[in-house]
Structure 1
């Protein structure tokens, strides 16, 4: 199995770029990028660039929002014991924190529960409900889970425990397409049928935050109190890979500003442990790839409650050891992931057939890391990828998969249900359990019935503009930063230039994972560039070649008070020719 190469495509969307540039006072290249992001009119572009917090939709538009607030308000007045049930990922932890911290100002009779990833699995379960009954809980509040817990919430009803569901996941449906809602006093999910909420692609923490804002409005609590929790909604939005458009882009933009100097001692400690204290600007990348993995590490390797206790810390002295613990767990997780990826890549490259679907067995891998490794395998080979690990139960295995566009992973697992004990998921990610002796049969069946056309097994890299780096100015780079935060749905712009001559190349870093270039364009302009990749592997591929095409993003590099243009290379292709001495 060979590592996949991406096919390059240039956006060809049309508009009067010059006219819009003049009206908006921005560069035509910036207009082109915004048009590529499906913004059509002057008004849409102005709204995107200004993005005030006042444009966030009203929480009243969420289904069952008023019912939720009224029931919760009554439970608070009656001093009922309220238990918040979250989830073990970043979204679930942040949602639980938002509700717990926000409601703590209104009640002392409040606690929380987060399932154990290995022992309990995802979401609320019968054991959590049974313990709630024993503890005299008068109301359960779910966050980032509950929408699919029909059996579990029927059990809660049998025990006489009322439940309020707050979630953002897809609604289960019956064979005729009708919604299957759980038995709860209120079910708040923006994806419900008939919902008036204008942007349903929000995460569980944002649903919780909006409902808290509504409750605060009802109780005449100052809006600033609710806004203090905005950074947690922003972290969850990025880490749950929500599209950074419309409402999500606005709240992440302002959440990042608040995170530059957060009030929360736990966040301050985690930023410090992660080397992000005082960093300006803080970007969505830092949430998704630095803070988020630390928060997640607790739930993966020990308990998600470690992260929640961190955020609930009242002082730096209390927060620091918890932040350090999460940092250490994440370092452990990274080492385990690296080792597992090396084994997975080895297995993939030893495949005798060029399989459409990869299913690799890593029996010793911690099952909480299977999804991460599956994602890395998918990225390298651009194939639907499953990683299977040995389960705690004798003779059983568990699998986690990550897909590519055009391969509905959960549906494909459903076609092999006779081989599986349990399965579930959605088109781009899924999980299952099966007997170990059926792993080979599942691999064969998935490949036999894959039905993936060859063209679908090539990843498409979309380029915003073919732009010589000689066009780039500091003013343009500053303007491009107005398009942030970048992420899913608002990808960082990509530019391309052809036939650049490599004047020099060297590998940097203790791990030799950065390649520094001096490049020369056909116009005779020079620029520094950097590629973050396996440096030694790149040098072997380079050989004696001297010309390459690149996909890049421009930045201003400042060192010892000197500013210079630097191109961040995201992909490259070599051209025929020998490298000059």
Structure 2
């Protein structure tokens, strides 16, 4: 698929100032500028994130009111129920709050809704059931900001409902006892992009402060918080929130906490994912740990994940981790079938020249898998995508978007055709009557056609700098590693080289020959390149000495106790094409 290369404009004065003051290379300085760094102080804090720089919990709306009520419930022996969500963010937030309240000897339990039966968020039947079981306080994590009717039901039942959520509020705010959501507050001192587990962490911190005579938490509670940062990193990375500001601090420290964790469930999870002896980065969480934790919630019941993250028993942790491994394999098999079916629909049923938003529906698809497929369809065809699984006269949809296009706003403009909708700028969920799907498809395409032009539908590669191969070295790669952890809002640096030659004999690699490896030379410097998923393009490369341009990331490939500089190719253009 054709990609459009967009080069970040160099800011020489700021680049030079940052490089000089921080004693870093101009290349690293330019990448920082490209990430929105506007001064030396911001560059320093980005490169040296400090956990002491996390914002005080008291900045969050209603957090003091909520923490006082929870402390009161603990003292009185009232029953607190944590109401979570079935994705990694919600599950890690549930586990964090459960561990926190158990540490403080609270009467606490948790409730995770079943995806297919109950759907996302608070529901009236669950509230009634929890009241009958004696709940006095319901604390939501990663959900509830749009649960206005449910908040009224909780109040009528005599339950104090405390909502913690990071999703965008609607026009009406639930009438709960307390509502903690950074998006409700306009203060520029408040970091607004926390994940659900990030907000749970702030609430746990505030509760710990109240339990202490001074504002500082007790030494035991401080140890708990420092350990819990590992859980926060899990949910923060998996929920694809921007890894900047406080999320960057949390992730940086959280990855280390995760690597050295003593939580039995996390140790067992690292073992089954073959990561116990690996220096963890955001990739390992996003693509190795996250899918295993998500698997039960996609195709079964996610409550077992909270048990994994809270059990003190190593044997039980190992048993659950092995179960998650099997569930993840089952999810992968289902994903292959649904992906093949979805691609077939795109290629045979749609005219992509006239389609600005892809809407696909099928009775055979599993609603727990379609979000992953929607992401992959967006990646391949570069259009906002909605996948709908139809069952029992209801369609459950997952939407994903291209960068810079706000999918939730687009879906809300189609609200007349939907039963419900909610989510974020890049990912959302919906419910729809099957007979409304065609009308919804047409309406969404009209909406996106008004907001997107042809160039928006061409995938963009944002290139940090054009560089010469001679500039690359192991030292440069080591210096660029200071930018990690990478993720949303802080991508891995992408560079371009022009006027380079393909040299040597290109080879197909991988179990099915789906990848390419070759050498590229500029002047006297030759570097190995790997192009994943480009195996079918080998004939284009076979003409030795052909001049080309590459867009790539750079890394050190460690193999057989040796280290080799390597380019990971993201796009390849030939000068004579």
- TM-score bracket relative to the smaller structure: over 0.9
- Residue matched to 2:182: 190
Aligned to 2:215: none
Do structure 1's residue 211 and structure 2's residue 212 form an aligned pair? no
**Aligned position for 1:98:** 96
Cα deviation 1:300-351 (Å, max 9, x = unaligned): 0111112111111223211112111112211221221122112212221224
2:460 aligned with 1:463: no
Which is further off, 343-352 or 69-78?
343-352
8 Å CA contact retained: 2:18, 2:40: yes
CA RMSD of aligned residues (A): 2.0
1:47 Cα offset (Å): 1.6
Question: Which moves more between the two structures, 187-196 or 479-488?
Answer: 187-196
Q: Single out whichever of 501-510 and 22-31 deviates more from structure 2.
A: 501-510
Matched, 1:300 2:292: no
Does 1:237 find its partner at 2:245?
Answer: no
Given the superposition, is the C-alpha separation of residues 197 and 127 from structure 1 closer, same or farther in structure 2, using an over 3 Å criterion? farther
Matches within 5 A, 1:62-77: 62-77=60-75
Contact 2:124/2:150 (CA < 8 Å) preserved in 1? Answer: yes
1:451-505 Cα deviation digits (max 9, x unpaired): 2321221222111110112111222111111111111111111111013322222
Provide Cα deviations, 1:120-156, integer angstroms capped at 9, x if missing partner: 1111111111111111111111111111111001001
Aligned to 1:335: 333
The residue that corresponds to 2:117 in the other structure is 119
Quote the offset at 1:406 in angstroms.
5.9
* Whole-angstrom CA distance in 2 between matches of 1:198 and 1:417: 31
Q: Is the 8 A contact 2:131 2:159 kept in 1?
A: yes
Equivalence map 1:485-524=2 (5 Å): 485-503=485-503, 504-521=505-522, 523-524=523-524
Displacement, 1:410? 3.6
Counterpart pick for 1:201 among 193, 197, 216: 193
Given the superposition, is the C-alpha separation of residues 416 and 311 from structure 1 closer, same or farther in structure 2, using an over 3 Å criterion?
closer
Residues 439-448 or 218-227, more deviating: 439-448
Deviation at 1:30, TM superposition (A): 0.6
**Matches of 2:265 and 2:34 in 1, distance apart?**
39
Mapped partners of 1:258, 1:407: distance in 2: 35
- 1:542 positional shift: 4.9
Inter-CA distance 447–67: structure 2 relative to 1 (3 Å threshold): closer
How far apart, in 2, do the equivalents of 1:412 and 1:490 lie? 25
Q: Look up the SS of the partner of 1:7 in the other structure.
A: strand
Mapping of 1:124-523 within 5 angstroms? Answer: 124-173=122-171, 180-195=172-187, 197-220=189-212, 221-222=218-219, 223-280=222-279, 282-351=280-349, 353=351, 354=353, 355-391=355-391, 393-394=392-393, 396-405=394-403, 407-449=405-447, 450-451=449-450, 452-503=452-503, 504-521=505-522, 523=523
Q: 1:465 and 1:194, CA in 2 relative to 1: closer, same or farther beyond 3 A?
A: closer
Give the 3-state SS of the residue equivalent to 2:241 in structure 1. Answer: coil
CA distance in 1, matches of 2:438, 2:206: 52
Per-residue CA shift, 1:34-67, capped at 9, x if unaligned? 1111112222211211111111111111111211
Counterpart Cα distance in 2 of 1:542 and 1:351: 33
The whole-number CA distance in structure 1 between the counterparts of 2:404 and 2:261 is: 41
Paired residue secondary structure (2:116): coil
Distance in 2 between the 1:541 and 1:360 partners?
Answer: 34
Contact 1:414–1:423 under 8 Å retained in 2: yes
Contact 1:62 1:195 in 2 (8 A): no
Contact 1:62 1:196 in 2 (8 A): no
**Partner Cα distance (1:509, 1:207) in 2:** 42
Could you tell which deviates more after superposition, 68-77 or 181-190? 181-190
Deviation at 1:19, TM superposition (A): 4.0
CA–CA distance in 1 between the matches of 2:106 and 2:61?
A: 28
Deviates more, 1:65-74 or 1:526-535: 526-535
Stretch of structure 1 that moved more, 476-485 or 562-571? 562-571
Checking the alignment, whether the CA contact within 8 Å between 2:162 and 2:176 is kept in structure 1 is: yes
Query: Residues 42-61 of structure 1: matches in 2 within 5 Å?
Result: 42-61=40-59
Deviations 1:531-563 (A, max 9, x none): 22152x333665758443211122222333332
* Greater CA drift, 420-429 or 262-271: 420-429
Residue 119 of structure 1 aligns to a residue whose secondary structure is helix
Aligned position for 1:6? 3
CA shift in 2, pair 1:6/1:110, >3 Å: same
**Structure-2 change in CA distance of 1:86 and 1:315 (3 Å):** same
User: Could you state the TM-score of these two structures normalised by the residue count of structure 1?
Assistant: 0.92
Secondary structure of the residue aligned to 2:573 is strand
For the structure 1 residues 44 and 434, does the alpha-carbon distance in structure 2 shift closer, same or farther, using more than 3 Å as the test?
Answer: closer
Out of 14, 34, 37, the position equivalent to 1:36 is 34
What is the TM-score when the length of structure 2 is the normalising length? Answer: 0.93
The answer on whether the counterparts of 1:267 and 1:311 sit within 8 Å (CA) in structure 2 is yes
Determine the C-alpha separation between the residues in 2 that align with 1:541 and 1:432: 43
Show CA shifts across 1:10-38 (max 9, x none).
Answer: 11141323343232111110111111111
Give the whole-Å Cα distance in 2 for the aligned partners of 1:345 and 1:118: 24
Asked if structure 2 preserves the Cα contact closer than 8 Å seen for 1:63 and 1:196, the reply is no
Q: Judging changes above 3 Å, is the alpha-carbon distance between structure 1 residues 37 and 5 closer, same or farther for their aligned structure 2 residues?
A: same
- Distance verdict in 2 for CA 1:146–1:265, change over 3 Å: same
149 and 422 in structure 1: CA distance in 2 versus 1, 3 angstrom threshold: closer
Indicate conservation of the 8 Å contact 2:226/2:257, yes or no: no
Q: Does 1:549 align with 2:541?
A: no
